[in-house]
Amino acid sequence: MSNLQPNVLIVEDEPPLVELLSYNLEKAGFQIHIARDGEEALLAVEERKPDLILLDWMLPYVSGIEICRRIRRNPETRNVPIIILTARGEEDDRIRGLEAGADDYVVKPFSPSELVARVRAVLRRTRPAFDKDSLTYGDITMDLTTHRVSRNDEPVDLGPTEFRLLRFMMEHPGRVFSREQLLDSVWGHDTYIEPRTVDVNIRRLRKAMNLPGTTDLIQTVRSAGYALDLKEQVA
């Protein structure tokens, strides 16, 4: 099953809380990945490029605060929204969390419905594409209700897979995704498809989108993957 819902990385080492968070977020339509300690979290952030991170303060190996700082120092991940989860409710602790780079701070115990609402609120603020009926990038417009795409006001005919691929890239403009990341996000992590399938669909998408007089917005980044970017193609 393909999944274009926001991808949430849960970084938590308590199994009952992991289960609670996963159940409620999946029920709300989010795609979930889990890391159970600090080192696993840092690796998952690099590999999966989540749309939002739920980050426990107290973790094995690397603390949540230190993870937050490292994510903010990395140019590739500094804009990923982070919500810190913690039992530390003192004002000084809240200030430390926010100063480390967190976008929100939730004290345990918390209401699952309130947490889901906070996740949606942070995404609306930091990823407005997830709360729209249409997407626009450069001269491309995508209507998410009618599934119609146009470029320079000219209609573009896309198949279902190319539509999902373009939608995902328009929701994350400028970010480079590997074949594996695109397969996971567009086709679904529980589906086995050869990575080269991505290349085939990128070629189809380019052929459909590159109307006469337009530039190629899909950039091939050598040894890295693909990005939707107005900049000139990277060699």
Q: 198 is written with which tokens?
A: 């991505």
C-alpha distances in Å from residue 28, one per residue of 10, 121, 154, 175: 15, 13, 35, 26
Contacts of 114 (CB under 8 A, 6+ apart): 106
- Strand-pair partners of 7: 31
- The region of weakest confidence among 20-34, 73-87, 189-203, 206-220 is 189-203
Cβ neighbour number for residue 185 with a 10 Å cutoff: 25
pLDDT digits (tens, 9 = 90+) for 159-203: 999 999 999 999 888 888 998 888 888 887 666 778 889 999 999
Contacts of 33 (CB under 8 A, 6+ apart): 7, 8, 9, 10, 44, 48, 50
Q: Comparing C-alpha atoms, which of 11, 182, 149 is closest to residue 80?
A: 11
Q: 196 is written with which tokens?
A: 């080269």
Structural domains of the chain, ranges and CATH numbers in brackets? 7-129 (3.40.50.2300), 132-228 (1.10.10.10)
pLDDT at 13: 92
In the Cβ-directed half-sphere of 108, how many Cα atoms lie within 13 Å?
Answer: 15
pLDDT digits (tens, 9 = 90+) for 116-134: 999 988 988 877 666 667 8
49 Rama sector, left if φ>0, alpha if ψ -120 to 50, beta otherwise: left
Does residue 145 sit in helix, strand or coil?
coil
What number is the average pLDDT over the span 29-57?
Answer: 90
Give me the percent of the chain exceeding a pLDDT of 70.
93
Does residue 17 sit in helix, strand or coil?
helix
Strands 134-137 and 7-11: what pairing? unpaired
